[in-house]
Amino acid sequence: MEEQGESKERVQRAPFETALHYAGYGTFQWLLLMSCGAVYAVCALSTTTLSFVLPAAENDFHLSSSDKGRLTATPLIGMCVGSYFWGNLADARGRKKAIIGALLLDALAAFLSSVVQSFPAFLACRFFSGFGIIGATGLIFPYFGDFLSLRHRDVMLCRLEVFWTIGTILLPGIAYGIIRGDTFNLTAEGADFQYSSWRVFVAACGIPSLLVVLLLIPFPESPRYLLHANMAEQALQVLQRIFVVNTKLNEKDFPVESMISTGDGDEEEVVSADNNGNETKAPLTWSQRWQAFWIRKKMLVTPPYIGLLVLCCFVDFGLMFSYYTLMMWFPDLFERFSQFSSLYPDVSAGVCEVSLKVANETSILAMKPVTLDDNVYTHTLVVALSCLPTALWVGITINIVGKKLMLVMMLISSGLAALGLNLVRSSLENLILSCVFEAIVSCTEAVLFCVICEIFPTKVAATAMAVTVMCGRVGAIVGNVVFGALVDHHCVVPIYMFGTFLITSGLLCIILPKSTRPERPQ
């Protein structure tokens, strides 16, 4: 008993990380992983919904390939705008509230986009879908990470990455069950109001966003956010709750009574978390916050960090230019192969030849019923499944191989796979190479983010990450517009652009330093 008393005395005033360590690691974190993982899977589902809408809605909206490019780019524009909005809302109102608000907006946009009858209105709804889902996508990692001690954070966040792949695996299954056949075609013959099966699919993809909100509601707000928002007592209550779930002990057994947190400056602040009000956190003045803001920004735009930032932005631009574009267009390309096979049986052709032939036969294809070939669903499912082993492998081997070497290898090999799309001569070869490309490139951005956290100082790492992600989304917008404009008659151009961007990025990553902050505290 005396030893326990001494132990409690030693940690009455502890840094937040120490207090989080005493809260324990166990049942609470695993339950939260399942809930946050479900949210992240829904983010993948919502982000890739349009990949099946492109071929399915082509006749309803009379879409050209350029229209398809605009359609896939529109949610990305919403993401670019929404990321800033949700980040500020999370700082002002809390991460959990922002994630729930983002999911509700995504669900509402999905339901509205399923009923609107004009293409411009559909574009507007998909803009708000992207605007909403980026909030959940961008905040679920920091929200989950705030409940993890440094010892377990990297491993658990890598496990969260696997759920994105699970979301992309579920999508073709949902599409197959709804879009295929006439079961969900609710349009009456001769009716002006169209509600075909692909519209039901769009609405169905909004339902999971509502369901995962129910999973998040029982969990508390981020204790780190509560601490920095001057709600130290609530932050301690959250840690006590984690402690009770993990240890099955009483709240009174939690040894920490007050916490020390690090503010925007370099000095530690004492934060009271008991009911006596003996210690309070002294909030920074507006002048101090403004000065700290400009110090961080000045550091980021001076050597060597400005060069590293430009390099990371170029890499993520090229990566998302290639990855997101092909990910969204794979089902459409599979459908083109199917249409080509029906028009020209036993004829071998590459991706670009198929696209050109199908584009020239639009009058013949327009007379056929709008049903996607079963191979479109199975091929998309196979491509999604191919990402699962890679996601697991990266989490296990990233510290063995090394982040920098892994990034270089993945970029160059995915670039070679992209260039190989010009060499395929059949649907099967196209499927195999698509699996290779998707399996490699799907985890590359996560490795890039790990590198950014390693090479930038803590004070500017978050800003460097935000700028890099923004450049990546811009790359995805440009890639979809360019591919949509050129896929019919000049398909070889964007494919060479994909390969060139990726290989060049990989070669440039060779010059990245191992770390610019060896002094980083452990």
**Whether the predicted pLDDT of 8 surpasses 60:** no
**Whether the predicted pLDDT of 2 surpasses 50:** no
Scanning 402-491, the segments in alpha helix (DSSP H) are: 403-420, 427-441, 444-455, 458-486
Whether 46 contacts 133, CB under 8 Å:
yes
User: Could you check whether the bond before residue 304 is cis, i.e. omega within 30 degrees of 0?
Assistant: yes
Tell me where in the chain the CATH 1.20.1250.20 domain(s) lie: 9-249, 303-514
Whether 107 contacts 196, CB under 8 Å:
no
pLDDT of residue 191: 63
Q: Which fold has domain 9-249?
A: Growth Hormone; Chain: A; (1.20.1250)
**Whether the predicted pLDDT of 72 surpasses 70:** yes
**Spatial distance between the Cα atoms of 483 and 278, rounded to a whole number of angstroms:** 63
Query: What's CA 364's distance to the chain center, in Å?
Result: 39
What would the mean pLDDT of 86-95 be, rounded to a whole number?
79
**Whether the predicted pLDDT of 30 surpasses 80:** yes
> pLDDT digits over 331-347, tens only?
778 878 888 887 777 77
Residues 303-514: name the CATH superfamily.
MFS general substrate transporter like domains (1.20.1250.20)
DSSP-based helix, strand, coil % in the chain, nearest 5: 75, 0, 25
Highest mean pLDDT among 356-365, 451-460, 478-487: 478-487
**Spatial distance between the Cα atoms of 312 and 467, rounded to a whole number of angstroms:** 9
> pLDDT digits over 189-234, tens only?
666 677 888 889 999 999 999 999 999 999 999 888 888 777 888 8
pLDDT of residue 516: 45
User: pTM for the complete prediction?
Assistant: 0.77
